[in-house]
């Protein structure tokens, strides 16, 4: 049971240095599962994700989770995996222990389960920063899951990773979504969006161009810019 | 005055025989400098972490002040501590002047800004890297500071060694507030100054050699720690 849904975003706007980066986004997400945010570079996908997680304050508009305004306490029920994982200068196990301790969930069994889940059990005592890119991102995902979030944000977590790591991360996300977690996932990879997405939110120039079920979006996107994106055409 | 060769041979003789006076001076020097270093780390590291992680009015001015205090002239610190601890001074009733405690106070004042300013820079860089992840995890402020200090430990040890190098080699402040009293406040640097002025070069040279060895050891330690930390990706 996901108690943070529905997510309601009303006229969300972000202006920085006189430039409107997020331009009056309004949308609703009701169901758990994986929502994929897509769009060209500079469309505002990562910024929008950070705003949903409360890391970047909006200039105007509102974000409501289950009817409540976004707050620091709300973040306790969410987690985020960044494109470049930020790992502490500690061992793999200690990175998860840190998150568990901070959230008051200190539990060695939970840590071991998560390491097993992302295939890092054998590397538990290795310094985290010596892992490969794929292993680091799997560790970042395990750390995010250790907080037992109801909503998980991922900002292009598999960009430039090896196929084995991509497959493992995707399987882990599918499992989490099946357990009722809401996953909001930014990616450039159309194939990955097809594999994972239950719905697609297509952003363009800081606005929601389209929000559709994935099957409908990939069959026939409603907007010409989304169609151009899927066709691999450049839109200037 | 002896020639250089005989002075060196006498100096080595003093060192090899573990001359009691020499050992006493070396022991006091280490005791004073290590105690000052410990206090400076206890004050300077949290101060550095605080300034690294917090944004407040006057922060820029504080940064300028911290950096400026790194270059405090030892004799000026010695003079100020002397004025405070002398019989007519506000802390004269404590009767600390010409004691090792006075020397520790002076050295602590000298090296705390070094520890605070250098650690601030290291921890600020680390904080910039961790900041968004910590906010995402909702890491409480104290846990954040503790994590920064722990993860920056190898770089911070180098900072501490820099502070120790400054304190052990310092002469201006300790000679003013310690008085260079035999068997009480005589440390390596003040003894070197005194023995050189008396023309007794062997003891001065022996102490100078010990100081050089300490300086080399401190630098070697810092180098080895940095290398090890980089190798194991903890730096």
With a cut of 90, say whether residue A202 has pLDDT above it: yes
Q: Residue B235: which pLDDT band, with cuts at 50, 70 and 90?
A: low
Whether cis (ω within 30° of 0) applies to the bond prior to A6 is: yes
What ipTM does this complex have? Answer: 0.91
With a cut of 60, say whether residue B85 has pLDDT above it: yes
List, as one string, the DSSP characters of B45-105: HHHHHHHHH---TTHHHHHHHHHHHTT--HHHHHHHHHHHHSTTSTTGGG--TTSHHHHHH
Half-sphere exposure of A106 (CA within 13 A, CB side): 5
B136 min Cα distance to partner chain A (Å): 6
Q: Which of A74, A88, A129 to mutate to test the interface with B (most CBs of B within 10 A)?
A: A88
- Supply the pTM of this predicted model: 0.85
Q: Which of B234, B51, B83, B34 is nearest to B154 (CA)?
A: B234
Let me know how many helices (H) and strands (E) chain A has, helices first: 9, 10
Contacts of B232 in chain A (CB under 8 A): 127, 130
Q: What is the DSSP letter of A53?
A: T
pLDDT tens-digit series, residues A92-140:
999 999 999 998 887 788 999 999 999 999 999 999 999 999 999 999 9
- C-alpha–C-alpha distance, residues B151 and B166, integer Å: 25
Q: What is the DSSP letter of B183?
A: T
Q: Residue A187: which pLDDT band, with cuts at 50, 70 and 90?
A: very high
- How many beta-carbon pairs below 8 A join chains A and B? 49
Contacts of A78 in chain B (CB under 8 A): 136
- C-alpha–C-alpha distance, residues A40 and A228, integer Å: 10
Candidate from A70-74, A97-101, A146-150 with smallest mean pLDDT: A70-74
Contacts of B136 in chain A (CB under 8 A): 53, 55, 75, 78-80, 82
- Specify the pLDDT at position A1: 66
- C-alpha–C-alpha distance, residues B167 and A226, integer Å: 66
With a cut of 70, say whether residue A82 has pLDDT above it: yes
Residue A178, both tokens: 């099946």
Q: Which strand ranges, in their side-by-side order, compose the sheet holding A60-65?
A: A19-29, A7-16, A60-65, A68-69
pLDDT tens-digit series, residues B143-183:
999 999 999 998 999 899 999 999 999 999 999 999 999 99
What share of residues in chain B are helix, strand, coil (percent, to 5)?
A: 80, 0, 20
Cβ proximity of B194 and B175 under 8 Å: no
With a cut of 80, say whether residue B7 has pLDDT above it: no
B227 min Cα distance to partner chain A (Å): 15
What is the average pLDDT across B24-38? 96
List, as one string, the DSSP characters of B7-51: HHHHHHHHHHTT-HHHHHHHHHHHHHHHHHHHHHHHHHHHHHHHH
**Candidates A76, A103, A129; nearest CB to B233:** A129
Cβ proximity of B174 and B189 under 8 Å: yes
- Specify the pLDDT at position B78: 97
- Specify the pLDDT at position B2: 56
Candidate from A15-29, B61-75, B191-205 with smallest mean pLDDT: B191-205
Q: Residue A85: which pLDDT band, with cuts at 50, 70 and 90?
A: very high
With a cut of 80, say whether residue B3 has pLDDT above it: no
With a cut of 90, say whether residue A73 has pLDDT above it: no
Contacts of B129 in chain A (CB under 8 A): 86
Q: What is the DSSP letter of B182?
A: T
Cβ proximity of B103 and B32 under 8 Å: yes
**Candidates A55, A90, A129; nearest CB to B136:** A55
- C-alpha–C-alpha distance, residues B191 and A10, integer Å: 76
């Amino acid at each position: 049971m996901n108690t943070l849904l529905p997510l309601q975003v009303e006229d969300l706007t972000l202006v920085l240095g006189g430039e409107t980066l997020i331009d009056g986004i309004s949308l609703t997400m009701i169901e758990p599962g994986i929502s994929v945010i897509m769009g060209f570079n500079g469309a505002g996908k990562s910024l929008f994700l950070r705003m949903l997680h409360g890391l970047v304050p909006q200039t105007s508009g509102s974000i409501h989770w289950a009817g409540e305004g976004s707050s620091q306490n709300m973040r306790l029920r969410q987690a985020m995996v960044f494109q470049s994982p930020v790992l502490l200068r500690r061992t793999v196990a200690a990175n998860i222990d840190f998150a568990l301790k901070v959230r008051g969930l200190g539990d060695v069994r939970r840590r071991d389960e998560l390491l097993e889940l992302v295939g890092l059990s054998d590397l538990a005592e290795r310094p985290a920063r010596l892992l490969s890119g794929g292993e680091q991102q799997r560790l970042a995902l395990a750390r995010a899951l250790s907080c037992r979030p109801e909503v998980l944000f991922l900002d292009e977590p598999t960009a430039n990773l090896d196929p084995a790591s991509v497959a493992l991360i995707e399987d882990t996300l599918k499992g989490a979504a099946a357990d009722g977690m809401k996953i909001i996932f930014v990616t450039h990879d159309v194939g990955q969006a097809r594999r994972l997405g239950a719905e697609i939110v297509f952003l363009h120039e800081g606005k929601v161009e389209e929000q559709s079920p994935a099957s409908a979006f990939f069959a026939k996107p409603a907007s010409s810019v989304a169609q151009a994106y899927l066709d691999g055409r450049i839109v200037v | 005055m002896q020639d250089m060769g005989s002075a060196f041979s006498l100096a080595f003789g003093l060192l090899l025989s573990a001359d009691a006076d020499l050992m006493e001076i070396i022991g006091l020097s280490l005791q004073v400098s290590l105690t000052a270093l410990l206090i400076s780390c206890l004050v300077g590291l949290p101060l550095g972490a605080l300034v690294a992680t917090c944004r407040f009015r006057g922060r820029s001015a504080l940064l300028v002040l911290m950096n400026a205090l790194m270059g405090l002239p030892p004799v000026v610190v010695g003079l100020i501590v002397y004025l405070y601890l002398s019989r007519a001074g506000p802390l004269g009733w404590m009767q600390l002047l010409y004691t090792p405690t006075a020397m520790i106070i002076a050295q602590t004042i000298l090296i705390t800004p070094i520890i605070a300013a250098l650690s601030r820079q290291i921890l600020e860089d680390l904080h910039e890297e961790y900041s968004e992840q910590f906010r995402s995890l909702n890491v409480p402020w104290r846990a954040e500071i503790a994590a920064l200090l722990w993860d920056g430990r190898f770089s911070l040890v180098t900072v501490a060694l820099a502070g120790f190098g400054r304190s052990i080699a310092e002469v201006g402040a300790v000679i003013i507030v310690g008085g260079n009293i035999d068997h009480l406040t005589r440390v390596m640097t003040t003894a070197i100054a005194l023995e050189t002025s008396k023309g007794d070069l062997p003891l001065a040279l022996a102490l100078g050699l010990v100081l050089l060895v300490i300086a080399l050891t401190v630098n070697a330690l810092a180098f080895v720690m940095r290398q090890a930390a980089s190798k194991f990706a903890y730096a």
